[in-house]
A and B are shown apart, each in its own frame.
Chain A
Amino acid sequence: MNTTIDRVSPEAAVLALDGELDASNFRELIATGTGLYADGVRRLVLELSDLAYMSSSGIVALHSLALIFRGQQPPDPEAGWAAIHAVSADTAEGTRADQVRLVAPTAAVESVLERTGLGRILPVFGDRDAALAG
């Protein structure tokens, strides 16, 4: 998978993902997003129109980034795969996560987002300008 970073402002970045996101590369996506957050980015737009495939490992990456960009500790991908994370229930905030935004997923990726429920947690936009503006 190729990742292209477009730092559109000090607070916002667009990450364009090209290829396939799976268990071999999902940690790289988490690391890239974590680096951007550490550098001051507070809105991360993931451009998915060239992402042909995403496995549940990719869902783990998006889940982690959503928590990081909300200023929370991400799940540990090593221990976390099997672990159940006991977390406090802050349901009011817990249901919303609009710092990480998704743009134009392909049908295959949209199907995974839907089946795992993440498409109902992370907002999905038709194009990057709408995602940056909204």
Chain B
Amino acid sequence: MTSPATLRIEADVDRLKDVRQFVREIAPTLGADEVAVRDLVQAVDEWVTNVVVHGYRGAGGPIEIELLRAGDEIVARVRDAAPAFDPATAPAFDPDLPLDQRPAGRMGIHLIRELCDRFEHRVPAGGGNETAIVRSTTRIPSRTGGNG
């Protein structure tokens, strides 16, 4: 396991470009191939967006993003101090719904599930959230959601 690279930001949608740049720069140095980098950039962006918009509800707060390699996987760990929210409790999104019947959101967590191998959440002792987005450095994630 490598020591992690860390980016700390204030929760703000205007910092999302910095989050993506951080993942684009660091993930290749950890051995992620081009598709893995692309998937990780999107998955981390989607989750940090979720924290900024839903977790902190636009009010701001600290977010810490760590990237490290563990075995043949990249782990992106995101910590925040927002109210606890387990993404596993989010309702499923059906990409086959017609335009009129689609919810206006919900797609971010759906995309993360599609793009990574594991998406884990825990509430640290001090509160907030710690999620881990885990993806193979090279292998395409197996689709387990049944709708991908």
Contact = CB atoms under 8 A, between A and B. Distances in A.
The answer to whether A binds B is: yes
Interface of A: 20, 22-24, 53, 55-57, 59-60, 63-64, 66-67, 70, 72, 75-77, 80-85, 87-91, 93-95, 97, 108, 111-112, 115-117, 120-121
A83 B104 contact: yes
Nearest to A89: B101
Contact of B38 (A83, A89, A108, A115): A108
B139 to A, nearest CB: 16
B53 interface: yes
B95 interface: yes
Interface size class of B (residues with CB under 8 A): 20 to 34
B54 A82 contact: yes
B111 A115 contact: yes
Chain B interface mostly helix, strand, loop or mixed? helix
Given A22-B17, A115-B114, A81 B104 contact: yes
Contacts, number: 105
Contacts of A59: 107
B33 interface: no
B80 interface: no
B79 to A, nearest CB: 19
Given A55-B46, A82-B54, A87 B101 contact: yes
B70 to A, nearest CB: 25
Given A22-B16, A22-B17, A121-B99, A56 B104 contact: no
Interface of B: 13-14, 16-17, 20, 38, 41-42, 45-46, 49, 52-54, 93-105, 107-108, 110-111, 114-115, 148
A81 B52 contact: no
Contacts of B114: 115
B104 A85 contact: yes
A117 B103 CA distance: 12
A119 B99 CA distance: 11
A20 B20 contact: yes
B120 to A, nearest CB: 20
Given A60-B107, A87-B101, A94-B99, 13 more contacts: A20-B17, A20-B20, A23-B49, A24-B17, A55-B16, A56-B110, A60-B104, A60-B105, A111-B38, A112-B42, A115-B111, A115-B114, A117-B96
Given A22-B49, A24-B16, A115-B148, A56 B101 contact: no
B57 to A, nearest CB: 10
Contacts of B20: 20, 53
B100 A94 contact: yes
